[in-house]
Structure 1
Amino acid sequence: MDTVTLARALFGSSMAFHIIFATLGVGIPLMIVVAEILYHVRKDPDYSTMAKRWTRGFAIILGVAIPSGTIVGAMLALLWPGFMEYVGQVIALPFQVEIWAFFLEALFMSIYVYAADRLPPLARIVSVIFVAIGASASAVLITDAHAWMNTPTGFEIVNGEIVNVDPWAAVLNPSIWTTAGHVLLSAYMTGAFAVASVAAYKLLRRKRSAVEYAYHGKALFIALLIGGIMSVGTAVNGHSTAQMLHHYQPEKLAAAEGLFETQSRAPLAIGGTADAESRTLKGSIEIPWLLSFLATNSFDGVVRGLNDFPKENWPPLQVHSLFNLMVGIGTLLILMAFAPIAYRLLLKRAYPRWTLLALVATGPLAMIGIETGWIFSCTGRQPWTIYHVQRTSEAATQSESLGLLFVLFIGIYVFLLIVTIFAMQFYFKRHPVLPELAGREASST
C-alpha cells in the first residue's frame, strides 16, 4: 500500500471513530434541552429524570470525543503537512475560534451538572442551552474547514506562493451554510434516534413497572418526533446541497448520480453501478427530469456529466453507491419516525413488539448514514485535498512508517470503544432508572 493510501486510510479511520462521538456530542445536548423545557412547561418529573440521565451519558461520550478529536487534530499535522501550509495561512481562524466554543460548552456543562438543582428554572434551562450552543458552534467551525476544502476562497496562488489572504472570505466560503446546516441537522437527527433506540429496547423488556414503561414511552415519543423533524430538515437541505454541487463541484454531483453525458432534463438515478469503461450506469431506476430540478430548480436545467472532465479528475465512481445508501437511510428514517407516531396518536395503542424491534435499529442506521455521508463528501472531492488547488498526493506526508502507526491507532480506537461501552453499561446498571422514579414518587407523597 502506497504512502498516500495509508495516510488516507489512517486519517479516515480516525475520523470514522471520532465522528461517532462528535455527532452524539452535538445531538444529545439538544435532547437534554427539550427534556428540560418539557419538565418546566408540563411539570412532569419524568422529563427532569430524562435530562439528568441523558446528561450522564453525554458526559461519558464527551470524555471520549475530546481525546479522539485531539488525535484527529494531531493526524492533520502528521499526515498532511502540505495541506497544513494552507491551513496555517488561510483557514486557521475557525480552528482558533472553536477553542472558545468548546470553552463555552465546558463551562456551562459544569454549571448544569454541578449546580442545576440549586438554580432557578430559567437559569437551569439557559445553562443547558449554552451547552448545546457550544457543541453546535464547535461542529460548525470544524465543518467550516471542510467546506473550505470543497469551495476554497480567500486567497490566490501567484508563482506557487499563497498571497492576498482574506481569512473572513475563507471562513464565509460559498458552501459553508449548506454544509454546516447539513451537519447540524443530521447530528440532531442522530442524537434523537440514539435515544429512540435505547427507549425502544427498554420497552421490549417484558418485566417493566407501569411507571417505568410510561417513562420510556415518553422518551421514545419525543425522540421519534425530533428525529423525524430533523430527518425531514436534512432531506430539504439535500436540495440546497445538490444546487451547491451543481455550481461548485459538478464532477462530484455527476459521480454521485452516475451521470456521464451532459444533458437537460437529467434523471435522478437510484441504485445501479457506474461503469468507467463503458461510461454508463447499469441497473439503475431513473426518475425522469428530477436531477435537473434538484440541481437547477428547473426540469429543463442542464446538468454536466463526467465526460466533460478529464478522467484523471473524476471522483471514485463508488461514491454513487455511497450517495444512494445515505439517501436511502435518510428516507427510511423519516418513515420509521412518523409511522409509529401516527400509530400512537391515531389508534391510542401501545407500540407492537415488531415496531419496537425495528425502532431499536434507528440509532445504528442514523450513525451509518452519518458515516456514509462523511465518506461520500470526502471521497467525492478526490483526487483533490483542496478542490482544484492541491491534490491529495501533494498534501500527504512522505514518511514510510505509516503502517506501524495505522496498527497502533486502530488499537487505540478499539480500546477506547471497549472502555466506552463498559463505562456506559457499568454506570447505568449500577444506577437503573426505576429507583430514581420510585424515590421521586415516594418523596412527592
Structure 2
Amino acid sequence: MDDLVLARSLFGTTMGFHIIFATLGVGLPLMILVAELIYQKTKDDHYAIMAKRWTKAQAVLLGVAIPTGTIAGTQLALLWPGFMEVIGRVMSLPFQIEIYAFFVEALFMSIYVYAADRLSPAMRIVAVFFVLVGAAASAVLITNVHAFEGTPAGFKISNGKITDVDPWAAFFNPSFFITAGHVVLSAFMTGAFIVASVAAYKMIRTRKKEKVYRFHRKALLLALTIGGIFSLLTALNGHESAQMLYEYQPEKLAGAEGLFETRSHAPLAIGGFTDPNEEKVKWAIEIPWALSFLAANRFDTVVKGLNAFPRDEWPPLFIHTLFNAMVGVGMLLILYSIIGVVWRKVLKKDRFPTWLLVIFMTAGPFSIIGIEFGWIFACTGRQPWVIYHLLKTSDVVTTTGSIGVLFLFFTFVYAVLGAAVVYVLLYYFRKHPVDEDLNTAES
C-alpha cells in the first residue's frame, strides 16, 4: 500500500477509536444532569445513585478520550503536514478555544466527583451542567475543523500561497452550525442508548431482585426517552445536512444516493449497492421524487448526478451503503424508544419480556455503529479532497514512510486500551454492585 492509503488507514483507525470515547464523553454528562435534576425534584434516591454510578463510568471514559485525542492531534501534524499548514494559518481558532472548553470540563468534573456530597443541590446541578457544556464545546470546536474541510471559507489559495485569511469567517464556515448540531445531538443519543443497553442487560440478570429490577427499569425508561428524543432531533438535523450537501457538496449527495444522471423529480434509493458499470443502484427500493424533496423541499428540484463531475473527483461509491446504514440505525433506534415507552407508560406493564430486553441491549452497539458509519461517510464522502475543491488529500500526505509500522503499533495500543477500559469498568461495578448503593440510601 502507498503512503496515502496507509496514512488514511492509520488516522481513520485512530479517529474510529477516539470517537467512541469522545461521543460518550458528551452523551453521558447529559444523562447525569437529567438524573440529578429528577433527583432534586422528586428526592427519589434511585436517580442520585444513577448519577453517581454514571459519573464513575464517565471518569474512566474521559481518561481514555484525552490521550486518544492527543494522539489524533499529533497524527494530524505527522501524517498531513500540508493540511496542517493551512489549518495553522487559517483554522487554528477552534484548537485554541478548545483548550478552555476542556479546562471547564475537567475542573467541574473534578468538583462533582470529589465534592458532590458537600455541595448544595443547586451547585451539584451547576457542576454537572458545566461538565456537559465543556464536553459539548470541545466536540463542537474540534468537529468544526471537519466542517471547514467540507465548506472552506476565510482564505484563498493563489499560486500555491495562502492569502486573504479571515479566521472568524473560517470558524463560522457555512456548515458550522449544522455540523455542530449533528455531532452534539448524535452524542446525546448515543450516551442514552448505551445506558439503555446496560440497563436492559441488568434487568435480565436481576429479574428475581425486585428492588434492583425497579432501579434498572427506571434507568432504561429514562434512557429510551432521552435517546428517542435525540434520535428524532438527529434525524431532523440530518435532513438539514442533506440540504447542505445539495448546496455545497453536490457530488457527495449524488454518491450517497447513487444518482448518476442530473434530473428533477429524483428518486430516493433505499438499500442496494451502487454499480458504477451499469450506473445505477441495484436492488434498491426507490421512493419517487423523494431525493429532490430532501434536497430543497420541492419535488421538481434538479439534483446533480455524478456524471456532472469529473470521474476522478467522484467520492467512493460505497458511501451509499454507509449513508443507508446510518439512516437505518437512526430509524431503528427511534422505533426502540417508541416500543419501550408505549410498553411501560401506555400499556402500564411492570415487566419487560426477556426477548424485548435482548432487543434493547442492541441499542447501544447500534448507536456506536451509527456514529462510526456517519463519520466514515462524512470523511470518505469528501474524497479526493482534504479541503473541498481547494486541496487534494494526496497533495498533503507525508512522504517520510514507515507508516505501516506505526499503523500496526497503534492498532495494538488501541486493542490494549479498549480491553483495559472494559476490564476496569467491569471490575469497578462488580466490586460496587448497585445493591450496596440502594441499601445505603435506605439506611
TM-score (norm 2): 0.99
Partner of 1:51: 51
The residue aligned with 1:428 is 429
1:12-23 matched pairs, under 5 angstroms: 12-23=12-23
Amino acid at match of 2:365: P
Indicate whether 1:402 and 2:403 are aligned: yes
Counterpart secondary structure, 2:153 = coil
The CA distance in 2 between the partners of 1:391 and 1:249, in whole Å, is 15
Query: How far apart are the structure 2 equivalents of 1:280 and 1:291?
Result: 15
Q: Deviations over 1:322-368 (max 9, x none)?
A: 00000011100100111121111111112111110000000000000
CA contact (8 A) 2:199 2:219 kept: yes
- Matched length: 442
Residue 224 (structure 2) aligns with: 224
Mapped to 2, the partners of 1:208 and 1:401 lie a distance apart of 56
Mapped contact 2:149–2:386 kept (Cα < 8 A): yes
- Structure 1 segment 188-337 matched on structure 2, within 5 A: 188-206=188-206, 208-337=208-337
Residue 270 of structure 1: how far off its partner (Å) = 0.3
Mark the runs of 5 or more structure 1 residues left unpaired by the alignment: none
CA distance, structure 1, for counterparts of residue 207 and residue 254 of structure 2: 53
The residue identity in structure 1 corresponding to 2:370 is G
Matched, 1:27 2:27: yes
Structure-2 separation of matches of 1:386 and 1:369? 24
Partner of 1:262, secondary structure, is coil
Bigger drift between 346-355 and 237-246 goes to 346-355
Q: Displaced runs of 4+ in structure 1, greater than 4 A?
A: none
CA distance in 1, matches of 2:193, 2:62: 18
What is the aligned partner in structure 1 of residue 185 from structure 2? Answer: 185
Return the offset for 1:282. 1.5
Provide the C-alpha distance between the structure 2 equivalents of 1:249 and 1:206, rounded to a whole number of angstroms. Answer: 50
Provide, for residues 218-244 of structure 1, a one-character-per-residue CA deviation record: whole Å limited to 9, x for no partner.
000000000000000010011101110
- Taking the aligned partners of 2:208 and 2:63, their CA distance within structure 1 comes to 31
1:269 alignment partner, SS class: strand
Partners of 1:120 and 1:333 in 2: CA distance: 36
Q: Does 2:400 match 1:387?
A: no
Q: 1:72 corresponds to which residue?
A: 72
Query: What CA distance in whole angstroms lies between the structure 2 residues aligned with 1:94 and 1:292?
Result: 35
Moved more, 15-24 or 273-282: 273-282
Q: Distance in 2 between matches of 1:223 and 1:340?
A: 10
| Structure 2 counterpart of 1:103 | 103
Residue by residue, what CA displacement relative to the aligned partner does 1:123-179 show, whole Å, maximum 9, x if unpaired? 110110000000000000001000000000000112211011000000000001111
Partner of 2:440: 439
Task: State the partner residue of 1:368.
Answer: 369
Q: CA deviation at 1:208?
A: 4.1
* Distance of 1:80 and 1:400 partners within structure 2: 12
Residue number in structure 1 paired with 2:112: 112
5 Å matches for 1:125-144?
Answer: 125-144=125-144
Report deviation, 1:395. Answer: 1.2
Is this contact kept in 1: 2:293–2:299, CA < 8 A?
Answer: yes
> d(CA) in 2 for partners of 1:351 and 1:244?
41
Counterpart code for 1:36: E
Query: How far is the alpha carbon of 1:278 from its aligned partner?
Result: 2.3
Determine helix, strand or coil for the equivalent of 2:180.
helix
Counterpart residue identity of residue 216, structure 2: H
Q: What is the Cα deviation at residue 211 of structure 1?
A: 1.5
Cα distance in structure 2, aligned partners of 1:383 and 1:169: 24
Give me the whole-angstrom Cα distance separating, in 1, the residues matched to 2:19 and 2:273.
28
Measure, in 2, the Cα distance between the counterparts of 1:301 and 1:233: 25
**Secondary structure of residue in 1 paired with 2:253:** helix
Deviations 1:377-404 (A, max 9, x none): 0000000111111111001111221111
Aligned CA RMSD, in angstroms, stands at 0.8
- The residue type equivalent to 2:243 in the other structure is Q
| Map of 2:154 onto structure 1 | 154
Distance in 1 separating the partners of 2:255 and 2:287: 17
Shift of 1:209: 2.2
Alpha-carbon distance in structure 2 between the residues aligned to 1:241 and 1:52: 36
The 1-side partners of 2:281 and 2:429 are apart by 49
* Aligned residues with identical type, % of pairs: 60
1:440 Cα shift?
A: 1.3
Distance 1:206 1:107 in 2: 36
Unaligned runs of 5+ in 2: none
Match of 1:170 in 2: 170
Residues 270 and 285 in structure 2, CA contact (< 8 A), matched pair in contact too: yes
Distance 2:52 2:93 in 1: 35
1:248-277 CA distances to partner (integer Å, 9 max, x unpaired)?
000000000000011111111001121112
In 2, distance between residues paired with 1:211 and 1:343?
20
Question: Residues of 2 paired with 1:348 and 1:175: CA distance?
Answer: 44
Aligned-residue offset at 1:314: 0.1
Provide the secondary structure at the position in 2 that maps to 1:367: helix
Deviations 1:164-209 (A, max 9, x none): 1000000000001111111111100000000000000000014542
TM-score by length of 1: 0.98
The alignment partner of 1:307 has SS state of helix
Q: Distance in 1 between matches of 2:410 and 2:273?
A: 34
Q: CA 1:203–1:262 in structure 2 vs 1: closer, same or farther (change >3 Å)?
A: same
In 1, the alpha carbon distance for the partners of 2:306 and 2:118 equals: 61
3-state DSSP class of the match of 1:385?
strand
